Structure 1
Amino acid sequence: MKHLILIFPVLAIAGCTSPALQAPGAAPAPTLNATPPPPTTATTVEQFDTTSEAERAAAAAAETGGADAPLGVTVASLGPPTEPGIWLKTPLVDVLTEGRITFAGKSINVELRPSGGAAGAGSQISLAAMRLLDAPLTGLPEITVFAK
């Protein structure tokens, strides 16, 4: 008798947390923008991405070259979708600052947040930033990071 084994792929998105799983009274991540958090009932990508059309347009208006200082290359996973905004948490910065990232020929302006990780550790990228870069949400894109 032959055995049929079905393997169901499990999709795990690194860093995903629900507001219910966050520590009570935990302060939101420091930020340079005021993008509202997603509703607690959010279940779709569109509901979790609360950036405005103006925020997306400003991010997409990134100019390449110029005075931007290259910081390095990092591999990024999707960060917590409950953290709104267009950002990258990375060990490549020590303080909250404005920056620019590139992936597959696309360049966007982002908020660079220190991750506190060791040099060479990976980064986390916001859902909105992944969408603007057309990066696969379940992938681990290699991103070039610049400081403004």
Structure 2
Amino acid sequence: MMMRALFLVSLSLALAGCSVFEKDAAPANPQMATEFAPAVSTTALGAAGHAPAALDKTSDAEKAAALSAPVASGERALGKAVVALGPPAEAGIWVQSVLISAPGQGRVVAPNGQALAVELRPGSGGALMSLSAYQALGLPLTDLPEMTIYGP
């Protein structure tokens, strides 16, 4: 009998403690959110975008000449860099990298061994290569190839 009384007392104290926690709980019917993010207007790339060929102002003859340019005497390997597609609106066949200390003429060699004469541009951050250079080398525009860069 004594055990039963202790059990009932402890149970009643435990239940009384639960009501304290219920007061801190969230209300049963919370208000709906009244703030919304502003609407964003977007367009599909095909509707407002440009085809790569429309942005590439370098002629096929200029690309062919860059592909067949002889190796310059005295050139040296500046290093390897993973390149990304540079701003498509910047015309020409160029590469920009921290490996390049001064503007000049040089070449890049793609992972498949194909070489291309390029304008060398000093840069900061990640290396970039022009749209025309990507297309002359036949690289997909979304690739990030590791190019060997040669310069004076």
Could you state the TM-score of these two structures normalised by the residue count of structure 1?
0.64
C-alpha contact 2:64 2:136 (8 A) present in aligned 1: no
Name the CA distance, whole Å, in 2 between partners of 1:42 and 1:97.
Answer: 33
RMSD: 1.8
- Structure with a larger share of its residues in helix: 2
Matched, 1:56 2:60: no
Name the SS for the 2:54 alignment partner: helix
Q: How does 1:98-113 map to 2 (within 5 A)?
A: 98-103=105-110, 104-113=112-121
Task: Tell me which structure has the larger Cα radius of gyration.
Answer: 2
Could you state the TM-score of these two structures normalised by the residue count of structure 2?
0.63
Query: Number of residues paired by the alignment?
Result: 104
C-alpha contact 1:73 1:144 (8 A) present in aligned 2: yes
C-alpha contact 2:76 2:151 (8 A) present in aligned 1: yes
Residue 63 (structure 1) shift: 2.8
Q: Residue type matched to 1:95 in 2?
A: A
C-alpha contact 1:97 1:112 (8 A) present in aligned 2: yes
Matched, 1:83 2:87: no
Q: Residue type matched to 2:93 in 1?
A: I
Instruction: Output one character per residue of 1:36-88: Cα deviation in whole Å (capped at 9) or x when no partner.
Output: xxxxx971111111002331122111335853211000000000001000000
Name the CA distance, whole Å, in 2 between partners of 1:76 and 1:67.
Answer: 24
Structure 2 unmatched ranges of 5 or more: 1-47
Name the CA distance, whole Å, in 2 between partners of 1:109 and 1:128.
Answer: 12
Cα distance change of structure 1 residues 65 and 97 upon mapping to structure 2, 3 Å threshold: closer
Identity of aligned residues (%): 40
Q: Residue type matched to 1:63 in 2?
A: P
Residue of structure 1 aligned with 2:146, choices 118, 142, 146: 142
